[in-house]
Structure formats: C-alpha cells, structure tokens
A = this chain, B = another copy of it.
C-alpha cells in the first residue's frame, strides 16, 4: 500500500547510485523533491530525463549529485542553455549518454511491457547511435526486406519521481494527459510522488477522473508539497516563475553563482521549514 510521508522522507528513499527518472520541463517536475535530494546530498545518480531535462537536471548536476545523464536534450527552454549541465558535460565531470526523444519513450515502454528491447525506426547514420554501445542494429529479423533497424534495450529506472496536483488517500495520483509519467512509473521499480494536496475522494470512483489517474499499485510513497513544481509551471494550476528561471540561468553560469542560488533557495532554513 502507498505510504504517506514528508518530502524529506521521500528523498531519503532515493539511494546513492540510483537510476532516477525525471519528467520533462512541461510535465509535473518535482522541484521540491529535487531540492530535498540536494539537501540529502544524494550522490552518483544515473539521471534519466524522460525524454529531456531542464532545471531539475541542471540543479542536480550542479550540486554534484549526478554521475551519468541520459537525455535527448537538456536546456532551460526560453531561458537558454542549462549552465551547470553544459559545464559538467564539457569538462567531463558528468558522463552524457546522448539519446533521442522517441528512444527514451520506447526503452521505457519496453520495461513497461516486460520485454527486453523495442525496435525503433530512424537513428541509422546518426552519431547518437554510433556512440550508444547498448543499442543494437539488426537486419530486418522478419526477413521481409524491411532493412536494418535499431533495437533499444529496456530501461528500468530504480526510482521515478514527479509532482502532481493531487492524490487521494488511497494513493491514486492524478496525471491527466501527462501519460509519459504513466509509462515512466510502470517501467520503474519504485515511484515517489509529491502532490499539491491529498483528497478524500477516490480518483478511481468516477470514470471521468479515473481516465487521468495513475493507480496506487504503482506508487510507493506520496508526500504533500505545496507549489512543489515551483519555479516551474504545474499545468492548469500555476504558471512558471519565468523571472526566477531567468535569474537562475544567469546566476548558475558560474559555480559560485550557483552555490549562492542553492544557499538562498535550497539550503536556507526558511526554505526547509516550508518544504
């Protein structure tokens, strides 16, 4: 059964060295959880962006939590490049495993379906493929002249995290049309979810809300975190704090600026008290 805990409790459940899956910038990013992970000083994460990373990845990398990063891209969107990511990859401090969006989705679907691999069109002739020694090119195994095709091994994250507008007391979580979260969680061994609020009403009781609900059976633990996606948006609930993100993009250009940002927005006692 799903456990109800604090955000710090959830962060404590992410072991050093875990393969951690995080949602893309437009989809329920658990920023309060990211701040808690940085405070807990998690180390050697293998971070998987599903399929692209943004502020969460940049902060975890900047804070020294990440060993390898797999993503189709990492950026701060309109706020520009992700500065800590860019520096860490350029210096080799973090090993980047470049991917492409549908490859991440398909590899997670393979784990979701309990199959060892999924085929994907495209890719052939790309240096993305050339540098992925875990991807295999085979000649059409159906023997129908379909040409070569790439097989992507399943990716099974140790932990998947996201932030939702709401869960119910039974542990069911609203995801709406952000169904990459469903596949991400199905594929993962454990799922840790922060939410704006926990409601009494069973999300599965009504067909209308059931359609956008991740059932509790996949959810390991839940914690309440008000404005838990801040400074990113939570679709339908609050907008991104674009000014804050731009300020981050400026400050994080240097290690010192980034450290100052963490001091103010992650480690400050007021922040911790609020989380």
Contact = CB atoms under 8 A, between A and B. Distances in A.
Contacts of A212: 207-208, 211-212
Nearest to A113: B106
Contacts of A146: 116
Nearest to A117: B142
A210 B118 CA distance: 28
B116 A120 contact: no
Interface of A: 106, 109, 113-121, 136, 138, 140-144, 146, 149, 151, 153, 175-177, 207-212, 235-236
Contact of A121 (B115, B151, B176, B211): B115
Contact of A177 (B119, B140, B149, B211): B211
A109 B112 CA distance: 13
A116 B149 contact: yes
Contacts of A118: 113, 115, 118-119
A152 to B, nearest CB: 10
Nearest to A207: B236
A259 to B, nearest CB: 37
A236 B208 CA distance: 9
A211 B176 contact: yes
A150 to B, nearest CB: 10
B208 A176 contact: yes
Give 3 nearest A-B pairs by CB, closest first.
A211-B212, A207-B236, A176-B211
Contacts of A113: 106, 118, 120
